[in-house]
Chain A
Amino acid sequence: MSEQSKDVCDPNSAAEASSSEVNSSPGVPGVLSPPASQAATLAGPETPPLGPTDALLASPPPQAPSEEGDPKALQQASEEGRAHQAPSAAQPGPAPPAPAQLVQKAHELMWYVLVKDQKRMIIWFPDMVKDVIGSYKKWCRSILRRTSLILARVFGLHLRLTSLHTMEFSLVKALEPEELDRVALSNRMPMTGLLLMILSLIYVKGRGARESAVWNVLRILGLRPWKKHSTFGDVRKLITEEFVQQNYLKYQRVPHAEPPEYEFFWGSRASREITKMQIMEFLARVFKKDPQAWPSRYREALEEARALREADPSAHCPRSSVSED
């Protein structure tokens, strides 16, 4: 893993910067070279620790005192940029950009990420570099760090490297996700409701849900595969293509089934964004039963909630700090 940091701007080290982590994992050996570790400490202190995946990527070294203000951060950012030019001295690096330019790049990246998320598109690191960072590649770490800071402070969103393997980032809400339960504005909810319906079916079954089973459930909502719906449009396309593209569902052929049949599984994004407890609450609301009416599933949901709490002890902090006010 440490060898990757030779390439000055790779998502791994960039993620460390963006994690703005306060915790340290001393067990992770030699992941960062010293300049990078200094950089990671400039990240703001407000964001809560990330989940298990990110702990692996978090910077091991101890924290330096938090930055005083922008001038210092900018100076360190440009110094860091210079420091990184030294190792890759194969080509003479361009002059480090003015701090204001780095700041501007960070703003551009912030907007880029927000729009990608708005469109529920994957935020792919190579795209970020190609579309926004461009020739400032050498400074992408500090740019990314600043962007994460702004997103956390202003929008209450965390820019997280969710998969080092695919180099995907995603914007995770740092605020409690009430949107799933409450209808802030009606036009968003139907999609979520439909998705939750399918996800909870899969969850309750404990394995993949055959397409036929899914349609049986959707029929209750008045949805048919061949009928266009006023809100959802082409429902079949929505659930077999769009939700799959957005990684909320997986749609796979059932092995050895003749005639061919397909089944649905939870997608990686659903596993990240939606907790089992939320599914239980959804089921409880829809069927007007106590969540404990599905005892084994409820137990699983409790386990998951406990595991999440343990991995992420300050995940509940945002709530308490608000109530302190």
Chain B
Amino acid sequence: MEEGRAERRRRTEAPSHTQGGPRRAGVMTDVHRRFLQLLMTHGVLEEWDVRRLQKHCYRVHDRTAAVEELEDFINNINSVLESLYIEIKKGATEDDGRPVYALVNLATTSVSKMASDFAENELDLFRKALELIIDSETGFASSTNILNLVDQLKGKKMRKKEAEQVLQKFVQNKWLIEKEGEFTLHSRAILEMEQYIRETYPDAVKICNICHSLLIQGQSCETCGIRMHLPCVAKYFQSNSEPRCPHCNDYWPHEIPVFDPEKEREAGTSRATKRSLRSRQH
């Protein structure tokens, strides 16, 4: 009996440096567990934060080990999470392609993550805003349009003033982004709800022609209607003087954005200024 227990502990607490062999199911150590705990605590994190987090976890639990390459580290954890229907998902911000990570539930039981945070009428307000955002051409829904739906909400009656505050709560909790009185989905919401959105709005949902992920904001071809994320556009048409639609070959009618991931990474040292810049953009 004692042996069984000790064996089990050894199996689940095997050191991370035995990962050289074929990875059928990953091995969880305290490094991974702490990483998961902290990732869960923060909800959604940008890549530089994730790397810092990973290093912290190594420092706390296993100073001697070499810090595993982030992608492998995450894949390792995901192989364990697979049977639990959750995963560490990587996405990108739609406006400038910054990589973000979140622990997401793959089981699509409604807006499951939010369900415990908000009251019934608040959840319904979010759903209404979500629908407007998905149906819109720009990926943004105006505050006015959302607030006009306040009378149709399920649950307790909500006044417009209240609804404004609830919308702000969504922004603070990183479900929505506000820009000049209009709302779109935060990258966190896109990451966590992609599956739910695809299943709930199969007709209205837009998909990027390049990466095939959910698309809220992006550019579209005026001839054939296919859409692409701004970062996907930037990458696809990189140094192409005559950008043409990948689908119908017509001239691509929009300005090609330019993102420089290298510059972003180098600027990692001067994080403070970069942060304030981003928060303004958002």
Interface residues of A (CB under 8 A from B): 22, 44-46, 63, 65-66, 104, 107-108, 110-112, 114-119, 121, 131, 150, 153-157, 173, 175-176, 178-179, 182, 184-185, 187-188, 318, 321-322, 325
Contacts and interface: CB of A to CB of B under 8 A. Distances in A.
Contacts of A65: 1, 4
Interface in B97-141: 105, 107, 109, 112-113, 115-117
A45 B8 contact: yes
A154 B42 contact: no
Nearest to A183: B56
A185 B38 contact: yes
Contacts of A182: 56, 60
Interface stretch (B80-88, B159-167, B204-212): B80-88
A294 to B, nearest CB: 28
Interface of B: 1, 4-5, 8-9, 12-15, 28-30, 33-34, 36-38, 40-43, 45, 49, 52-53, 56, 60-62, 80-81, 84-86, 105, 107, 109, 112-113, 115-117
Contacts of B112: 111, 115
Given A63-B1, A121-B116, A325 B53 contact: no
A111 B196 CA distance: 16
Contacts of B5: 22, 45-46, 66
Contacts of B33: 154-157, 175
B185 to A, nearest CB: 19
A60 B43 CA distance: 39
Contacts, number: 104
A118 B40 contact: yes
Contacts of B40: 114, 117-118, 155
B105 A185 contact: no
A154 B81 contact: yes
A325 B15 CA distance: 6
Contacts of B49: 185
B107 A325 contact: no
Given A111-B86, A118-B40, A184-B56, A322 B113 contact: no
A45 B30 contact: no
Nearest to B14: A325
A118 B41 contact: yes
B13 A108 contact: no
Closest 8 A/B residue pairs (Cβ): A156-B33, A45-B5, A325-B15, A184-B56, A66-B4, A111-B105, A107-B84, A322-B30
27 contacts: A45-B4, A46-B9, A63-B1, A66-B1, A66-B8, A104-B107, A107-B107, A111-B105, A111-B112, A115-B112, A117-B40, A118-B40, A119-B116, A131-B115, A131-B116, A154-B28, A155-B36, A155-B40, A173-B37, A182-B56, A184-B53, A184-B56, A185-B38, A185-B53, A188-B42, A321-B9, A322-B13
